[in-house]
């Protein structure tokens, strides 16, 4: 006999999709596929002499931890509380006002309360209280304290690798707590147990051994640039001849290695080559300081310092006067806020002075390194370039402020000045999504892997949502930025959330508009798309 057909209410009664109503401390972490990256491989940790190197999987129950792991973590915490006053301060002063809670792109996109910056920090504060404060030791959970168990460690790992250290939350904190620094400490502590992710550990090992994240050897770097030169010659009829490792050049140029191989960053790299050629700049590339980015920064202070040291070392070896750095995000947080005290003072270099305009970059007096957007904006402001913005007329552009260049160094106007000079169609996204309020791409701090695509798409949603708004309102079809990770990852975010919007570096737009001496008539842009009015010519 047929079973009785259930009524809708009866059916619904058996299915409850509502989440459990337990407090955060009593809701154990569940590692969900798509939300985390693979664990660091043994060989990559060994390459930099990191502890507890072994192949492990976050999906397995056994993380192959050393027996005394709790002691290692707590001693590591004690050490850092003493070493970094900011860490101690940030552990103590939060009043849980909630101003930061809804400002994180991962919380907004995922809806997971443990992605509220206040709660993410609380994951660590609860251990701090238990182990380092009297109230926490005596009163336990009443004082917001808890013991460091294996579940807590896994929770740390899961959520500290779900924060891109973008620092948007810190803009809203009345106390100025920088939650990114708490994530940094969380990552340092997990690294004491060999719990890095491989998407960070691999590039770090490569960078340490070969100078760049991709592990490119010198001949690969030069041959890669050669390919760009071929493409530029096809486009313009001009053969550019850059130099590598040239002693006595005035300027050393350092850029993220991603731009040498990953589209669309490659077009940005072509833009640099064309601009420097047109200016007749006395500069050199380096196959040793072949990486501006620094995944050590997502690992530990010490590792970041080790990887950064090659920039000044190479500048000294080549005897240059100063350094220009390419379009990158976290690279610039490292360069402006850490490099000088880690590996400086670079007193063998001179205060950067543009040989074209005579502008002295006083803001880089100490580091001796200038962001290419500052350099180019100055050139354009002085009218030193012949530009044809109409060549970008097929593009309707908006600009995404990278977290690190906007919040980390205040580079807000220069990229906009460049874009407005080389493009006729530019539209800003809404005010609360740009400049210092910019939303992260969702894939920074080494989280740009593919196994965590769901996480990246959630985190990228607030940014994409604002792009979608200007696409629908103004017909925007190009998202410009000055960060290599943005160029690599916003492409995926746009393809998922806002199809039809492509991603570009600012210097690709410059390369398109730049009228070079002796060039042939261009019929396409760098991507071989026909220029406006030249459709059907090729």
Partner 1 sequence: MGSLNLDMGLRDILSEKKPAILKRWFDAIVDTYPANTAEFLKSQQDRFANPVGHAISQGIEEIFDELMAGVDPERVSPFLDNILRVRAVQDFKPAEAVSFIFLLKKAIREEMKNLNGQTLGELPELESGIDELALCAFNVYMKCREDLYTVKANELRNMTSRLLERANIIRPTGGLEPETKEAVIKVKRKEVTE
Binding site for partner 1 (CB under 8 A): 8, 12, 15, 17-19, 21, 32, 34-35, 101-102, 107-113, 116, 219, 223-224, 227, 261-263, 266, 430, 432-433, 450, 453-454, 457-458, 461-462, 465-466, 469, 488, 491-492, 495-497
Assess contact for 210 and 50: CB atoms under 8 A. no
The distance of closest approach from Cβ of residue 462 to partner 1 in the complex, given in angstroms and rounded to an integer, is: 6
The distance of closest approach from Cβ of residue 494 to partner 1 in the complex, given in angstroms and rounded to an integer, is: 9
Judged by beta carbon, residue 463 or residue 522, the one nearer partner 1 is: 463
Judged by beta carbon, residue 167 or residue 368, the one nearer partner 1 is: 167
The distance of closest approach from Cβ of residue 147 to partner 1 in the complex, given in angstroms and rounded to an integer, is: 24
Burial 301-323 (b: 16+ CB within 10 A, else e): bebbbbbbebbbebbeebebbbb
DSSP for residue 392? G
Judged by beta carbon, residue 113 or residue 319, the one nearer partner 1 is: 113
The distance of closest approach from Cβ of residue 110 to partner 1 in the complex, given in angstroms and rounded to an integer, is: 6
State the CB neighbour count (10 A cutoff) for residue 344.
14
State the CB neighbour count (10 A cutoff) for residue 82.
10
Judged by beta carbon, residue 32 or residue 247, the one nearer partner 1 is: 32
Judged by beta carbon, residue 175 or residue 261, the one nearer partner 1 is: 261
How far is residue 290 from each of residues 214, 247, 337, 397, 450, measured CA to CA in Å?
10, 16, 20, 30, 24
Counting DSSP H helices and E strands in the chain, the numbers are 23, 7
Judged by beta carbon, residue 79 or residue 263, the one nearer partner 1 is: 263
The Cα–Cα gap between 141 and 232 comes to 64
Judged by beta carbon, residue 107 or residue 426, the one nearer partner 1 is: 107
The distance of closest approach from Cβ of residue 433 to partner 1 in the complex, given in angstroms and rounded to an integer, is: 5
The Cα–Cα gap between 169 and 472 comes to 28
The Cα–Cα gap between 377 and 230 comes to 27
The distance of closest approach from Cβ of residue 526 to partner 1 in the complex, given in angstroms and rounded to an integer, is: 14
Judged by beta carbon, residue 343 or residue 453, the one nearer partner 1 is: 453
The distance of closest approach from Cβ of residue 69 to partner 1 in the complex, given in angstroms and rounded to an integer, is: 28
Assess contact for 104 and 169: CB atoms under 8 A. yes
**Alpha helices by DSSP H, 56-197:** 69-83, 85-92, 105-110, 117-132, 134-139, 150-160, 168-172, 179-191
The distance of closest approach from Cβ of residue 498 to partner 1 in the complex, given in angstroms and rounded to an integer, is: 10
Which residue carries 């294996």 as its tokens? Answer: 150
Q: Is the peptide bond before 264 cis (omega within 30 degrees of 0)?
A: yes
């Amino acid at each position: 006999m047929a079973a009785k057909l259930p009524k809708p209410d009866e059916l619904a009664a058996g299915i409850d999709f509502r989440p459990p109503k337990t407090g955060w401390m009593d809701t154990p972490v569940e590692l969900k596929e798509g939300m985390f990256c693979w664990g660091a491989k043994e060989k990559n940790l060994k390459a930099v002499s990191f502890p507890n190197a072994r192949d492990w999987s976050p999906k397995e129950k056994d993380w192959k931890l050393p027996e005394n792991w709790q002691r290692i973590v707590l001693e590591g915490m004690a050490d850092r509380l003493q070493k970094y006053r900011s860490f101690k301060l940030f552990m103590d002063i939060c009043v849980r006002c909630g101003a930061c809670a809804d400002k994180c792109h991962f919380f907004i996109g995922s809806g997971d309360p443990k992605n509220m910056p206040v709660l993410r920090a609380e994951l660590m504060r609860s251990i701090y209280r238990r182990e380092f404060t009297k109230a926490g030791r005596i009163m336990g959970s009443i004082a917001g304290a808890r013991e460091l168990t294996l579940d807590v460690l896994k929770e740390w790992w899961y959520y500290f690798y779900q924060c891109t250290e973008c620092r948007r939350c810190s803009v809203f904190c009345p106390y100025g707590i920088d939650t990114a620094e708490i994530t940094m400490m969380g990552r340092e502590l997990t690294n004491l147990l060999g719990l890095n992710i491989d998407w960070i550990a691999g590039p770090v090992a490569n960078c340490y051994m070969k100078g760049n994240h991709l592990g490119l050897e010198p001949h690969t770097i030069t041959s890669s640039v050669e390919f760009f030169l071929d493409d530029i010659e096809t486009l313009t009829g001009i053969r550019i001849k850059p130099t590598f490792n040239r002693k006595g050049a005035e300027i050393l140029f350092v850029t993220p290695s991603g731009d040498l191989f990953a589209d669309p960053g490659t077009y940005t790299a072509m833009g640099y080559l064309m601009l420097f050629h047109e200016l007749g700049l006395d500069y050199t590339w380096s196959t040793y300081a072949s990486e501006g980015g620094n995944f050590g920064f997502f690992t530990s202070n010490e590792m970041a310092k080790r990887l950064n040291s090659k920039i000044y070392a190479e500048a000294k070896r080549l005897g240059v006067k100063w350094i220009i750095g390419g379009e990158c995000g976290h690279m610039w947080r490292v360069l402006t806020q850490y490099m000088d005290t880690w590996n400086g003072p670079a007193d063998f270099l001179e205060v950067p002075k543009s040989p074209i305009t005579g502008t002295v970059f006083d803001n880089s007096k100490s580091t001796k390194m200038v962001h290419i957007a500052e350099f180019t904006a100055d050139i354009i402001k002085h009218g030193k370039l012949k530009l044809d913005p109409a060549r970008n007329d097929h593009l309707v552009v908006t600009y995404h402020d990278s977290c690190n260049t906007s919040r980390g160094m205040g580079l807000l106007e220069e990229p906009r000045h460049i874009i407005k000079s080389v493009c006729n169609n530019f539209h800003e996204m809404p005010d609360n999504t740009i400049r210092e309020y910019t939303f992260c791409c969702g894939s920074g701090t080494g989280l740009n892997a593919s196994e965590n695509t769901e996480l990246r798409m959630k985190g990228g949603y607030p940014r994409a949502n604002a792009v979608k708004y200007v696409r629908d309102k103004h017909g925007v079809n190009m998202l410009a930025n000055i960060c290599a990770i943005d160029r690599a990852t916003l492409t995926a975010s746009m393809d998922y959330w806002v199809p039809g919007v492509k991603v570009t570096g600012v210097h690709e737009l410059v390369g398109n508009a730049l009228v070079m001496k002796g060039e042939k008539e261009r019929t396409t842009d760098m991507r071989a798309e026909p220029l406006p009015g030249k459709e059907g010519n090729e």
